[in-house]
């Protein structure tokens, strides 16, 4: 037993035990130290790998960016090419149409009934071609950011009337009634590019007539709230499958089920053009429909 001054005696076996536990502690300490060193090495390696992968990501990003810029240049060249070709096609097409109409109407001499009927077919083809060319030209100009809106204050009812008058003829042929919602007041005005909004309404009304069977109805209306002016075109036609509604405004989407009733097939660009025009105004366009229960197209113009 050992005894220190003023201290209690410590048994020898206790001292041996504390020596052993001190050694154990030191061993544990060294072990921890080694583990910390190993972790530090791992951390260093991770940092290195991370730096390398960051550099890799940066290189990949630079590469993608260059490719994206190249694609943008190619895309612009393509749009410019389409715009130029469509524009160049428009003038000769107008001349061809004028020439055929003159022959058809007997301005250049007598025409037999057979010849007239043949020329009717040619005129129909020329009209269809003109429609395709002008839609392709419109979409390429809109997508290329080349359209500037000419905004002014206009009466909603006047815009609707300008659309309904020429449409009435097409509608009458198949006994579809086209009308303006009586709720549209003569004092309802909005600020927009009237030519462009007439183009949107015309396509919506044309579609409504195209996909509405005999004795159906097409209604064009407008309403306003504090922020927006809203137009709608509603029909009692064949409607649109729920799964197709989200694809309506995508270029060249035409749905197999939607056979134009008594009309020629369109180009499938009309609604994509409408979307571009409305978005250029800062508005939204959408459709609500159910198969066999008609369709309603709405669009807003912020005021």
Ligand X SMILES: Nc1ncnc2c1ncn2[C@@H]1O[C@H](COP(=O)(O)OP(=O)(O)OP(=O)(O)O)[C@@H](O)[C@H]1O
Binding site for ligand X (CB under 6 A): 135, 203, 207-208, 211, 235, 237-238, 240, 248, 253-255, 258, 266-271, 295
- For the record, the structure tokens of 78 come out as 């393509």
Which stretch, 15-23, 104-112, 142-150, 197-205, contacts Mg ion (CB under 5 A)? 197-205
Pairing of strands 295-302, 285-289: antiparallel
Residue 126 CB coordination number (10 Å): 18
240 binds, among ligand X, Mg ion, none (CB under 5 to 8 A by kind): ligand X
SS3 state of residue 263: coil
Q: Does 207 contact Mg ion by CB under 5 A? A: yes
**Could you give the CA distance from residue 94 to residue 90 in angstroms, rounded to a whole number?**
6
Within 36-55, the residues that bind Mg ion by CB under 5 A are none
Q: Which is nearer to Mg ion, 96 or 129 (CB)?
A: 129
Q: Does 283 contact Mg ion by CB under 5 A? A: no
Binding mask 153-192 for Mg ion (x = CB under 5 A): ----------------------------------------
How far, in Å, are 3, 4, 16, 247 from residue 7 at the CA level? 7, 5, 18, 93
**Could you give the CA distance from residue 17 to residue 23 in angstroms, rounded to a whole number?**
10
Within 253-272, the residues that bind Mg ion by CB under 5 A are 266, 270
- For the record, the structure tokens of 179 come out as 């009308």
SS3 state of residue 216: coil
Q: Do residues 49 and 36 make contact, with C-beta atoms less than 8 angstroms apart?
A: no
Shortest Å, Cβ 203 to ligand X: 5
Shortest Å, Cβ 120 to ligand X: 20
Q: Which is nearer to ligand X, 160 or 258 (CB)?
A: 258
Residue 142's φ and ψ, nearest 5 degrees, are -65, -45
Of the candidates 20, 2, 19, the residue with the CA atom closest to the CA atom of residue 11: 2
Shortest Å, Cβ 109 to ligand X: 35
Q: Which is nearer to ligand X, 222 or 269 (CB)?
A: 269
Shortest Å, Cβ 136 to ligand X: 10
Shortest Å, Cβ 289 to ligand X: 7
Q: Which is nearer to ligand X, 137 or 295 (CB)?
A: 295
Q: How is residue 9 annotated by DSSP?
A: -
Shortest Å, Cβ 280 to ligand X: 17
DSSP lists the bridge partners of residue 2 as 10
């Amino acid at each position: 037993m050992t005894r220190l001054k003023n201290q209690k005696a410590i048994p020898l076996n206790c001292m041996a035990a504390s020596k052993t536990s001190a050694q154990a502690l030191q061993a544990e300490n060294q072990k921890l130290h080694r583990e910390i060193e190993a972790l530090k090495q791992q951390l260093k390696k991770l940092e290195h790998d991370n730096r390398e992968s960051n550099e890799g990501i940066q290189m990949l990003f630079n590469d993608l960016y260059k490719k994206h810029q190249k694609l943008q240049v190619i895309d612009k060249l393509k749009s410019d090419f389409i715009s130029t070709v469509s524009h160049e096609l428009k003038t000769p097409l107008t001349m061809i149409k004028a020439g055929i109409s003159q022959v058809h109407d007997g301005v250049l001499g007598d025409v037999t009934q057979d010849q007239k009927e043949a020329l009717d077919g040619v005129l129909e083809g020329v009209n269809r071609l003109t429609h395709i060319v002008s839609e392709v030209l419109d979409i390429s100009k809109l997508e290329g950011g080349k359209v500037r809106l000419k905004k002014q204050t206009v009466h909603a009812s006047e815009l609707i009337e300008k659309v309904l008058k020429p449409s009435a003829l097409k509608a009458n042929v198949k006994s579809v009634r086209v009308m303006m919602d009586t709720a549209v007041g003569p004092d309802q005005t909005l600020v927009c590019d009237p030519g462009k909004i007439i183009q949107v309404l015309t396509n919506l009304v044309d579609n409504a007539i195209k996909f509405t069977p005999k004795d159906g109805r097409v209604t064009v209306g407008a309403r306003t709230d504090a922020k927006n002016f809203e137009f709608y075109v509603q029909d009692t036609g064949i409607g649109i499958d729920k799964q197709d509604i989200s694809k309506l405004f995508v270029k060249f989407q035409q749905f197999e089920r939607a056979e134009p009733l008594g009309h020629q097939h369109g180009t499938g660009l009309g609604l994509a053009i409408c979307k571009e025009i409305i978005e250029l105004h800062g508005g939204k366009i959408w459709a609500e429909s159910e198969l066999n229960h008609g369709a309603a197209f709405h669009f807003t113009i912020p005021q």
